Amino acid sequence: MAAFAKPLLADVLSRIIFKLIKYIKMKIKDLIQNINKSKQFEDKIYIGDFAEKAFDLQYIQNWDDQTRLVAYYLGNWYCTDSCVGYKVYFFDEKPVAVSSQLGRKCTEEIEWISKEDYKKVKDYIMSFAEEFEDAPTIADLEQDFGVNYKVEFYCQMYEHHKNNAIYNNETVKIVNHKDSFNDGKYHPETVQIQYNSGKKEWIETKLLSFPFNLQGVS
């Protein structure tokens, strides 16, 4: 019986290690392919705002009822009263660009998947204005990007963060929190997490990480 147990254990361990390596080395193109395009992660696009930040085009009417150009958050969090994070843009249901905005006052940095995608979206935007020429920043889809991201403070979190956090490579829930200022003194912000076993523990908020909004990846 023991002779069969060792190979079985080795097989299980090899499967676990393979999955861990897969996550650690996940590339941007893999994240794009598996992004969760449900309504809760969709970001409404206003053509005028997008034209200015993507192509430096001004005075274009701010259409908001178009459906060809859409975006979904790959990872998102609150910054004051705004939603920021990592996004993937789709044009006619095809991914065309990725972006990051790490704070409300930070510029959204947009990188295009290809020059062809850049031109195609620009032509669409230009259907609302005159022609304009400039050069795109092309995203490196082979770049290793990990599989998790950080949210520094509890007030920046959405509900999906609280129900699906990661601590020490284990999925946990956030059930409570303490602000930085207690008894008139500054302390690192802490949250109370709950393991799948039911055990609870207080840790610093900054020690948590959160999985990207993906689907079909296990």
Distance CA(72)–CA(145), nearest Å, equals: 17
**Closest C-alpha among 176, 208, 204, 209 to residue 192:** 176
Q: Dihedral (C-alpha) 42, 48, 52, 54: value to the nearest 10 degrees?
A: 40
According to DSSP H, which parts of 56-182 are helical? Answer: 115-126, 159-163
Q: 78, 156 in Cβ contact below 8 A?
A: yes
pTM, two decimals, is: 0.64
Q: What is the pLDDT of residues 178-189, one digit of tens each?
A: 887 766 777 789
DSSP string covering 25-61 = T-BHHHHHHTB---GGGEE---HHHHHHHHH---S--
Q: What is the pLDDT of residues 119-158, one digit of tens each?
A: 999 999 988 775 445 567 899 999 988 889 999 999 999 9
**pLDDT band per the 50, 70, 90 thresholds, residue 20:** very low
**Closest C-alpha among 63, 57, 67 to residue 129:** 57
Give the domain ranges of the chain: 32-126, 148-211
* Side chain identity at residue 192, one-letter code: Q
Q: What is the pLDDT of residues 21-55, one digit of tens each?
A: 455 567 899 999 999 999 999 998 988 899 999 99
